[in-house]
Structure 1
């Protein structure tokens, strides 16, 4: 974390003489928030873990404005603490997956954990650089996961250039990450990789030539694991007033990098088939159409994973330390429509058809209330042995959200989610039927 500490120390030195200048405090934003989560994950297999757990997370954020001058300086600070209120997976091995809290050496959940982070930021015109350990990118090649009580955070630097209207260029380097269920930072890896890498570099951008069209391209490299190219297109067409049709295309091309496949830099291909075991060889594409009218939204889509191996993304949940223990708890997001509650539908050869219906009750005079139902069916999953056998799996998720719109509890929100996942994939290849329930209670207060 040497670079982060130097950047923040430099920023503080500069700010010590300028912190009262126009912009730094006047444009600052401060908020405090709380999130409680009841998480139930019932693995419907003999000997499967049945996890029922409740946790509470508290979060405070300070984001300054920028000092005056050619180069503006600022500082973001984030403090988080969380408490295990009950439940979990007790007295099992340290390799037991507990996705809500960190675990002790015997695998049982800790009582409390905390994290303090910050970013120094520098701005010239419409170009901004952030360096720190509280980066939470939302990019096609790296998505910060926020599905538990703490958000996933990364350490490194990200440069954003918005000098031309409609064009946003982004580049950066990430060295470490702290997962959604961890207080420490660990090296990076591909999903299922055990050896850490301290270099994830990327460059790309979003271009909107018109208000209805978005074009995207990104190139990324997780050193000694994979290189990745992403291309995306989003187009929104207004059929008539109040009726829109949105198309979204996404394509990933993934290949091995450096030591991939050797010296411990291998991954498990989501437990499935790989034409080059331990290496990365994958192309994944997806297409989605969404028709919206009134409070209704109907989504239909298709996703295809190539036969040579599974889709890859940054997930450090399998990284081991010098004692062969997990450095941090897992949990990550991938920029795919199929990244849902229990599964991601990214196995080699998997072709997934999915549909979702959602309704916003504001059309019925109940603002803040929303409901959705999604169903996904993945087929043609290749057997790990390459014997020609294929499997299928499906998932059905339901969700209900409500946010209070006014009064003393304005912005207090609740989300209830229920998912059912069923698979033919053998347990030896990572398959297991799962029923999952989540209840979130969220509240954030922003100081004026």
Structure 2
């Protein structure tokens, strides 16, 4: 990822390159290329006053732009290509006493949110048969490593990732991630967990679709000198009757230490030892326009659940909290409704509640946390604003015993993606 203190030229350069490619569609490299520009306007307000936190409120409003270019591959047995991503974030409203929403970075000493920030990432890719090797800026979405895209700009990794689909139904991945660029940053930082840096994270695994309704997954990951991790997963969907379906999503991690380092954990177990088993799963019953979900997790052993970045692969990764502190047992109830059934296509509603208990930290034993989220989303279906997406999100988070600050949160997100070619 290339850091640029003057974001507009970098973004314009990427878009200009994309447009020049579009006029030269003579080979697969050009003919199969595609480019898009996403605009995301986001307001986020977090109120901490009910818990007496030092900062009473975090409130920011910003505009983000993300340009993506994906080339095709050159002709021949071995094909070569190039992808690029350019991101620009612009402050619309913020201040040093309302910073920290994750929308904007701020100075370490001044604590003043920046006026703008940007980044440009390039990815070289090589294709042989049905296997593709990518080197450079990556945005994997795997159980053991995933990028984050729930703020203004998305996070990225730097490294190499091989994806192979030589056998029908089987997808294999192998890679090494060496740097991480967080969602509110323009710099590539060392891989780390719990405040301890690591040279890299290696991963290997894949998924196999036994049939269109049943997929099994296995992955192994090792963050050098920090932790090693095994993952096994199962997803299954079955039709119970006309308009009635049941989806099963089961996930299990076994994580242990790698090397001699001790991470700086909040866990009140063995000085920060990583040695735990994490099961989580979700059952979702689809009934026409309705979906009813029930989730459960059990995190046993020592230490918090370990993962890179901000997104653990858990059904309880929700708006505010992740429910991955040591010892956390949690359950979730969720409801979704698609208003297309009432003649309003594009409008959807979601509400969920997660309750966690038995949490262990350095200061709290048997702690409890809960969160309630509500989303209302509308995507314009036609007319001048076709494709424009508006999301209203409300979240309430509470914890006991001083685990962390209580939060009342509201978000307004307006997004639009323009295909360039």
TM-score by length of 1: 0.85
Q: CA deviation at 1:116?
A: 0.5
Q: 1:294, 1:203 → 2: CA distance?
A: 38
RMSD across aligned C-alpha pairs, in angstroms?
A: 1.9
Match of 2:407 in 1: 434
Q: 1:110, 1:385 → 2: CA distance?
A: 35
Q: 2:229, 2:236 → 1: CA distance?
A: 23
Q: 2:419, 2:371 → 1: CA distance?
A: 37
Match of 1:278 in 2: 272
The C-alpha deviation readout for 1:261-307, integer Å capped at 9, x for no partner, is: 1xxxx221xx2322x21331211101211000211000001101114
- Indicate conservation of the 8 Å contact 2:46/2:101, yes or no: no
Is 1:26 equivalent to 2:31 in the alignment? yes
Q: 2:181, 2:293 → 1: CA distance?
A: 33
Q: Identify which of 73, 87, 95 aligns with 2:94.
A: 87
Match of 1:42 in 2: 47
- Indicate conservation of the 8 Å contact 2:44/2:101, yes or no: no
Residues 352 and 414 from structure 1, CA distance in 2 versus in 1: closer, same or farther, beyond 3 angstroms? same
Q: CA deviation at 1:379?
A: 1.3
TM-score by length of 2: 0.91
Residue 219 of structure 2 aligns to a residue whose secondary structure is: strand
Q: Identify which of 380, 384, 401 aligns with 1:425.
A: 401
Match of 1:243 in 2: 244
Q: 1:343, 1:98 → 2: CA distance?
A: 14
Residue 362 of structure 1 aligns to a residue whose secondary structure is: helix
Residue 196 of structure 1 aligns to a residue whose secondary structure is: strand
- Indicate conservation of the 8 Å contact 1:260/1:278, yes or no: no
Q: 1:248, 1:106 → 2: CA distance?
A: 45
- Indicate conservation of the 8 Å contact 1:418/1:438, yes or no: yes
Q: Identify which of 159, 163, 178 aligns with 2:162.
A: 159
Question: Which 5+ residue runs of structure 2 have no aligned equivalent?
Answer: 3-20
Residue 66 of structure 2 aligns to a residue whose secondary structure is: strand
Q: How does 1:133-212 map to 2 (within 5 A)?
A: 133=137, 135-190=138-193, 192-193=194-195, 195-212=196-213
Name the count of aligned residue pairs: 399
Is 1:400 equivalent to 2:376 in the alignment? yes
Match of 2:419 in 1: 446
Q: 1:112, 1:220 → 2: CA distance?
A: 35
- Indicate conservation of the 8 Å contact 1:401/1:413, yes or no: yes
Match of 2:385 in 1: 409
Q: CA deviation at 1:366?
A: 1.3
Is 1:354 equivalent to 2:332 in the alignment? yes
Q: CA deviation at 1:42?
A: 1.3
Residues 208 and 282 from structure 1, CA distance in 2 versus in 1: closer, same or farther, beyond 3 angstroms? same
Q: CA deviation at 1:198?
A: 2.5
Residue 279 of structure 1 aligns to a residue whose secondary structure is: coil
Q: Name whichever of 302-311 and 159-168 sits farther off.
A: 302-311
Q: 1:252, 1:447 → 2: CA distance?
A: 41
Residue 421 of structure 1 aligns to a residue whose secondary structure is: strand
Q: Name whichever of 19-28 and 116-125 sits farther off.
A: 19-28
Q: How does 1:70-85 map to 2 (within 5 A)?
A: 70-85=77-92
Match of 1:370 in 2: 348
- Indicate conservation of the 8 Å contact 2:398/2:406, yes or no: yes
Q: 2:61, 2:85 → 1: CA distance?
A: 23
- Indicate conservation of the 8 Å contact 2:282/2:293, yes or no: yes
Q: 2:316, 2:362 → 1: CA distance?
A: 21
Q: How does 1:318-329 map to 2 (within 5 A)?
A: none
The C-alpha deviation readout for 1:363-420, integer Å capped at 9, x for no partner, is: 122111110000011111235368xx41211110000111112222211101111000
Q: How does 1:92-107 map to 2 (within 5 A)?
A: 97-104=100-107, 105-107=109-111
Of Structure 1 and Structure 2, the greater strand share is in 2
Residues 259 and 372 from structure 1, CA distance in 2 versus in 1: closer, same or farther, beyond 3 angstroms? same
Residue 363 of structure 1 aligns to a residue whose secondary structure is: helix
Is 1:116 equivalent to 2:120 in the alignment? yes
Q: 1:228, 1:42 → 2: CA distance?
A: 36
Match of 1:267 in 2: 264
- Indicate conservation of the 8 Å contact 1:84/1:101, yes or no: yes
The C-alpha deviation readout for 1:144-165, integer Å capped at 9, x for no partner, is: 1001111001100110000100
Match of 2:220 in 1: 219
The C-alpha deviation readout for 1:5-24, integer Å capped at 9, x for no partner, is: xxxxxxxxxxx9xx865211
